Structure 1
Amino acid sequence: MENVRTRGGTVVTNPFDDESGRFVALVNDEGQYSLWPAHIEVPGGWRADGPEGSRQECLDVIERAWTDMRPAGLVRASGADAG
């Protein structure tokens, strides 16, 4: 969490919930997505999927791209079972 100073004192906010923040949509090798604050280093195993944008712009990217919530390994295994 990061501290944000307000006129009334210090308020602790979660950067993931900052409606006015800048974000990126991340994706991992399993095709799972995450909304990530742009000012925080991307964790290992994840990569940006699209440009930096507003919270809503990045959520829209995730909604369009992440149509199957199952990890890619499970999707592949399910396809192998069917064939």
Structure 2
Amino acid sequence: MKLSSLFKRVAYCGAVATWIFAILCVIERPAYAYVDPGSGLFFLQVIGSTFVGFGYLARKRIAQLFGVFGKGKNATQSDVDAG
């Protein structure tokens, strides 16, 4: 896939998400419920853990792509066998 087509897809998805968000804001109904400050902190925790998890998975995939984990395991195994 070409990089320009990827940017076009991301831009298109962003535009669609913006329109959906705008429509949902226009048709919102009043919520007769109580939301305490802890709910906002919980939302921030979910967002933060999502970013950390994505970073971990991305790092793991990049390391697998370049074979970093494979070299480390072989060196460790040879040290154990020699000792």
TM over 0.5: no
Please tell me whether Structure 1 or Structure 2 has the larger radius of gyration of its CA atoms: 2
Tell which has more relative contact order, 1 or 2 (C-alpha 8 A, sep 6+): 1
Identify, as 1 or 2, the structure richer in helix. Answer: 2
* TM-score, normalised with respect to structure 1: 0.23
Identify, as 1 or 2, the structure richer in strand. Answer: 1
